[in-house]
Amino acid sequence: MTQGALTILWLLPALGGLAALAGGRFSRWIALAVSLAALAYGFWLLGPLRTGVVAAAPQAPAWAFGIRYALFCDGLSLSLCWLTAFLTAACVVASWKKDYSAGYWAAFLFLEAALMGVFLARDLFLFFVFWESVLIPMFFIIGLWGTAGRRHAAMKFFLFTFFGSIFLLIGSVALVTLQHSATGVWTWDMAQLKGPEGRAGLMIFAAMALGFAVKVPIVPLHTWLPDAHTEAPAAGSVMLAGVLLKMGVYGFLRVLWPLFPRLSWQMLPLLGLLAGINVIYGAFCAMAQKDLKRLIAYSSVAHMGFCLLGIVSRKPEGLVGGSLQLLNHGIITGTLFLLVGFLYDRGHRRGLGDYGDLAGRAPWLTFFFGFTTLASVGLPGLNGFVGEFMSLLGMARTWSIMAVVGVAGVTLAAAYALPAFQAVFWGAPGPDSVSALVYDLDAREKGLFWVMAALMLAIGLYPGPLLRLLEPCLLGLAQ
């Protein structure tokens, strides 16, 4: 019964995707209706979750090798499902006026379904299947509807992340086989699997961590990200940065930490160092960019570093803050990519030097971009701060040097975000500026951003409900 309740959450967008594929000119309406319905249904699930019905889902009969169709939901899963559904709906609204074919709308629904599956899966095999099926709609979204270099970017994205997935698969298979040879029971259930000790455990941990690290992405495995984010259509970038990157961190939290409680804690120096590098490296790379979308893409690398700092610290503050930062980054960077998308729709350029003085020409675009930039640089009172601060606090309690690095990253964030804001929205347009083409946001676009801005402000000032949702499922991971 409750298993069925969770199935609806991913099956609804999947069926919606099929309908949209067949829907012809109604497909965008189908996409809108289905994504909103999935969002509403996701919110409704909060009730059963509170009463504890959903979390303890019963087992379906096993297929071969102990593979089961088993779903599972707690605060972390549900909040990420909300994020997925919300950003999908936002993407549909944002690309409403585009004359894309039915496949475009269907691809977003399929993507939503696969992502929901990743966040809901309890069976490791099922998790991997959903994990991989995310790649397919994303590949088409980048490759078919992206900008000039889309085919190269799509191929790079696919191969790079597939490379990581292979390690994830090898790790999972080795894990399950070892457990079978030790206990004689085939199981892929994440709650029953236990990572082996010793050398084998280390190898499996490394393989699976590599798979997740590509997705996060952890430097130096990040180079698929700038290309994919830049060449994808605006809505594609939103889903990439907003949700796909979260899969990696979710994998660490959901799979690696519970499987290897001791080993993952012993890995703190390495993982913490990598997280710190992510923050600083992403910030410096972002400072060097001349392309607005690439800049935001690199800022994502830095922001994911904050999430990692939080979850690696293994303190309640850090775990909750890092998870909250997943949602915050999805909202903030999603909004930034949507804004850049609208800018690109008008001026057909992305360079920092291609615009200038938009503040007078498009005041609402300027207002929302400025607002979101402030959220992105971690201005307290907006949502980015809450997650960053709690993550850094967790790290300060575990390994204070890395917290210092993280705080330096907060400082550097202003050094790449504000110059970009100034170059586009203030100042004198250059000789070949396309500022003259830019007109202000219309009612649909404004409405979308009001929702985003309200969320940023609400989570920034009153994160209590989300913290309460996330806290119980993460406290068990604290060291």
Partner 1 sequence: MSSLPPAALLLFLAPLAALAAAFFIMRPWKPQWTHVPILISCGVVTAAAAYLAAMVYTGRGADVTLYTWMFAGKWSVPFGVRIDGIGVSVLCMVALVGALIQLYSVGYMKGDPGFSRFIMLLHLFYLSMIGLLVSNNYVQFYLFWELVGACSYFLIGFWSHKEAARKAAMQAFLTLRLADFGLMLAVLLIIVQFRDTHFALFHAVRFFPSMYHPLIGLLILWAAAGKSALFPLYFWLPDAMEGPTPVSALMHAATMVTAGIFLLVRSWPLISAVPGLPGLIAVVGAVTAIFAAVLAFTQTDLKRILAYSTVSHLGLMAFAVGLGQITAAVFHLVTHGFFKATLFLCAGNIAHASGKSAVSVSEVGGLWRRMPLTFAAFAIAAFSLAGIWPCAGFFSKDAILDAAFERGGWAWAAGLAIAAASAAYIFRMLFLTFFGPRPEQSPARSLHEAPPVMAVPVAFLALGALAVGWAREDLVAMLFCGRQSAVAAPSLPELAPKVAAAGLGLAALAAGVVFALTMGAPSWDWHWRRRRPGLAAAFAGDLGWRRVVAGFVARTLRVADVVGRVWDHETWDAAIEKTATACRALSRGGSAMASGGLSESLWWLMIGAAALLAWAGLR
Residues binding partner 1 (CB under 8 A): 156, 159-160, 220, 223, 226, 281, 284-289, 298, 315-317, 319-321, 357, 359, 370, 374, 379-381, 385-386, 389-390, 392-393, 396-397, 400, 403-404, 407-408, 410-411, 414-416, 418-419, 422, 425-428, 461-464, 467, 471, 475, 478
Chain centre to alpha carbon of residue 210? 17
Least CB distance to partner 1 at residue 318 (A): 8
- Closer by beta carbon to partner 1, 203 or else 287: 287
Least CB distance to partner 1 at residue 437 (A): 20
Least CB distance to partner 1 at residue 381 (A): 5
- Closer by beta carbon to partner 1, 214 or else 338: 214
- Closer by beta carbon to partner 1, 239 or else 392: 392
Least CB distance to partner 1 at residue 241 (A): 18
- Closer by beta carbon to partner 1, 166 or else 475: 475
- Closer by beta carbon to partner 1, 200 or else 461: 461
Structural tokens at position 458: 């609400």
Least CB distance to partner 1 at residue 195 (A): 25
- Closer by beta carbon to partner 1, 213 or else 374: 374
- Closer by beta carbon to partner 1, 201 or else 272: 272
- Closer by beta carbon to partner 1, 86 or else 281: 281
Least CB distance to partner 1 at residue 25 (A): 36
Least CB distance to partner 1 at residue 373 (A): 10
HEC profile for the chain? CHHHHHHHHHHHHHHHHHHHHHCHHHHHHHHHHHHHHHHHHHHHCHHHHHCCCCCCCCCCCCCHHHCCCCECCCHHHHHHHHHHHHHHHHHHHHCCCCCCCHHHHHHHHHHHHHHHHHHHECEHHHHHHHHHHCHHHHHHHHHHHCCCCHHHHHHHHHHHHHHHHHHHHHHHHHHHHHHHHHHCCCCCECCCCCCCCHHHHHHHHHHHHHHHHHHCCCCCCCCHHHHHHHHCCHHHHHHHHHHHHHHHHHHHHHHHHHHCHHHHHHCHHHHHHHHHHHHHHHHHHHHCCCEHHHHHHHHHHHHHHHHHHHHHHCCHHHHHHHHHHHHHHHHHHHHHHHHHHHHHHHHCCCEHHHCCCHHHHCHHHHHHHHHHHHHHCCCECEHHHHHHHHHHHHHHHHCHHHHHHHHHHHHHHHHHHHHHHHHHHCCCCCCCCCHHHCCCCCHHHHHHHHHHHHHHHHHHHCCHHHHHHHHHHHHHHCC
- Closer by beta carbon to partner 1, 226 or else 233: 226
HEC profile for 53-94? CCCCCCCCCCCHHHCCCCECCCHHHHHHHHHHHHHHHHHHHH
Least CB distance to partner 1 at residue 425 (A): 8
Least CB distance to partner 1 at residue 414 (A): 4
Least CB distance to partner 1 at residue 451 (A): 16
Structural tokens at position 148: 């000039």
CA distance 260 to 232: 36
Structural tokens at position 112: 């939503």
- Closer by beta carbon to partner 1, 258 or else 316: 316
- Closer by beta carbon to partner 1, 39 or else 319: 319
Least CB distance to partner 1 at residue 397 (A): 5
